Each structure stands twice: as structure tokens, then as C-alpha cells.
Structure 1
Amino acid sequence: MPSSRYLTRKMMAPVDWSRVRGVAELGAGTGVFTREIGRRLHPDAQAVVFEADAAMRRRLQAECPDLHYWGDATELTPALKQFGIGQLDVVFSGLPFANFEQDLRDKLLSEVVDSLQPGGLFIAFQYSLQMKKQLEERFASVKIGFVPMNVPPAFVYICQKQEDAW
């Protein structure tokens, strides 16, 4: 079932879209967030959408042709390089981390942290609080919101990478 408009609003709310020049979405699925990213994206910004299912990826590409597309979210760094995108301002994720083996979680989170610029945001929804500790170990700040008006209800993690120290 697609994410609700309430979850979409909660996911997009922390982002200052006027400043964003690099975005990634991990696990686009039906494209609810993809379409919203496409609507909000600054004309000078670029976005890479990761979706493992080739048929879904092709459908999204036809629907939002101005965005870049890639299959494997563990290849975030090579994808950014291929598309000439530097560090990202924000990474959105709908990936079901709770369903993944720990090695895959670690690989994905390392790719996310490495791809974000200092102060960048990782915004992910999950259906449990299982990822809280792992995210707190990797990010300077982790805030959690709750969206009851979604099926199922969802937690939104808003994680900020450490700013550069002076």
C-alpha cells in the first residue's frame, strides 16, 4: 500500500528545498516520495532514485524523467559519481531495514553517511524503533516522529550528520 499524504508531509517537512542541490531516495517503491521530490526539487538540483525492481524503476522513470535512476541502493557512491553529483544534502529512505541482515544494514548506512555532506539529513520511515540505536551511533542527531495516519502507522527518523568542526 502506498505511503499516506501524512507520512509524505512528515518526511518532506525537515528539508529546506531552496538550499538542496543533491538528493537520493532509497527504495522508491510506488513513487509517492519520488513524485513529491520531483515537485519540490530546485531547478539546479539533482536527484537519484534507487529502486531494485526494474519494472517499478521504468515506470517511475517514465513518470518523473528529470530524475536519475539506479537499481542497487548499496551502490550509492558509484551512482553519484556516474551522474556527476557531489555530496548529498538529503537522503530519503523507505527501505525496510528491519528485514535486512546486519551486514546489509551496515553497508547501506555507511553509504548514506559517506554520501551526505556535513550537516546533511537522512530521513527514513520504519514501522518500529528497531533502528534507533544504530542510527544514534552514526549520526550527531536523531529525532523520531510518529505518523498514526498511515497503514501501518510509521516512525520517521530525522538524522543529521555531524557538521564539520572548525
Structure 2
Amino acid sequence: MEKLLFLSKFIRSPRTIGSIAPSSRFLARAMTQPVQWETARNIAELGAGTGSFTRYISRLKTPECQALIFEQDSTMRNALAADYPEMHHYPNARTMSHTMRLHKINGFDYILSGLPFMNFPQELRDELMDEVERSLAPSGTFIAFQYSLQMKKQLAQRFDDIRITFVPLNIFPAFVYICKKTI
């Protein structure tokens, strides 16, 4: 059912969904592996879709860790809210820094992103990345996957410490960017 929902959403709006299928468990592991779950207190997920990463966040986070989940599609967001009521669900990642203040969060330890940046105009990419920078804690980490290396240059302008891993077992194979804030 999840795969059919994802495919139907992609057919209707390929620029905002970004893929024909949900992320694989291999990609979900690669995205959540860099997180130090025992010390993470605040985490955000951008572009949660049908919850491939949300499942891992729910299972791995400690009870003290607050999770804010951002998903623009109302059908997917409502399904996630029903499945993960212990998390906070919002429609717009462009309001992340404002939303975190509502929850008395000074900065996210980790921001995980499944947003299809390559489908967005540069102005929207910049706006979202400004929001990521504002919302990360001083030593926070931004973890994002993309299907190309297109974002490498833009991320290198914002982060001093970037590692990239490759996940071939996904539809489509993906690059995972692990970007550590050093300021």
C-alpha cells in the first residue's frame, strides 16, 4: 500500500515527491547510522514521505529526544501522525526554525532530509539550506540523500566537514551527505 501511495503521489507531483518508490531499508540505515542516538535530544526530518526514516527515528531515539517531522503532502503527513503520535508533525520545512522555538528547542542535533533538492529552483534550495543552518545546534549534523552529486558544491559552501557515502541498494542508487556544522 505504501509503495502504491508513493507512486501515485509521484505521478501527480514528481517535482515535490522526487522518487517513484519509498527509500529502501539500506538507505534508511545509511541515513540514521551517523546519529548518536544515546545523546541526541532534538532531531528533525524533512520530506518524511511515507516514513522510511521516521520508522528508524521512532525505534532508535530515546524517550527524551524530541522529533519534529516535516512533510508537505497532507495524506502522507496525516498517516505519519497516526503511526507516530509521539512525534510532532508539520507541513512546511521552510518554517523549521520558527517551529522548533514553539517546542523550546534551541537547535537540532540532527536534521535528516529526504527532500529532492535537485527538483527545486535554486531560490528554494537556498531558502531551505538557510533554514537548516539556522536550525542546527552549534555542533549539529545535517544528513541528506540525493540521487546525484549536484548538491556537493552548495553543501561545501556551508559546511566544512562533509562525508559522502553511496547506497547502491535503493530505487534509485543514492548518495548520503553527512554534513557537520563546525561553528
Aligned position for 1:74: 94
| Alignment of structure 1 residues 11-50 onto 2, 5 Å | 11-50=31-70
Q: Distance in 2 between matches of 1:42 and 1:114?
A: 24
Please state whether the residue corresponding to 2:49 is helix, strand or coil: coil
Please state whether the residue corresponding to 2:23 is helix, strand or coil: coil
Identity of aligned residues (%): 53
**Given the two structures, how large is their TM-score scaled by the length of structure 1?**
0.96
Aligned position for 1:117: 137
**How far does residue 84 in structure 1 lie from its aligned partner after superposition?**
2.2
Kindly provide the amino acid, as one letter, of the partner of residue 49 in structure 1. I
1:93 and 2:113 equivalent? yes
| Alignment of structure 1 residues 106-145 onto 2, 5 Å | 106-145=126-165
Kindly provide the amino acid, as one letter, of the partner of residue 74 in structure 2. A
| Alignment of structure 1 residues 144-155 onto 2, 5 Å | 144-155=164-175
Please state whether the residue corresponding to 2:50 is helix, strand or coil: coil
Q: Deviations over 1:95-115 (max 9, x none)?
A: 000011111101100111111
Q: Distance in 2 between matches of 1:117 and 1:78?
A: 14
Kindly provide the amino acid, as one letter, of the partner of residue 67 in structure 2. A
Please state whether the residue corresponding to 2:143 is helix, strand or coil: strand
Moved over 6 A (4+): none
Kindly provide the amino acid, as one letter, of the partner of residue 151 in structure 1. I
Q: Distance in 1 between matches of 2:60 and 2:160?
A: 26
**How far does residue 2 in structure 1 lie from its aligned partner after superposition?**
1.3
Q: Distance in 1 between matches of 2:109 and 2:46?
A: 14
Kindly provide the amino acid, as one letter, of the partner of residue 77 in structure 2. R
Q: Distance in 2 between matches of 1:55 and 1:26?
A: 16
1:57 and 2:77 equivalent? yes
**Given the two structures, how large is their TM-score scaled by the length of structure 2?**
0.87
Q: Deviations over 1:36-67 (max 9, x none)?
A: 10111111110100000111111000000000
1:144–1:158 CA contact under 8 A, matched in 2: yes
Aligned position for 1:159: 179
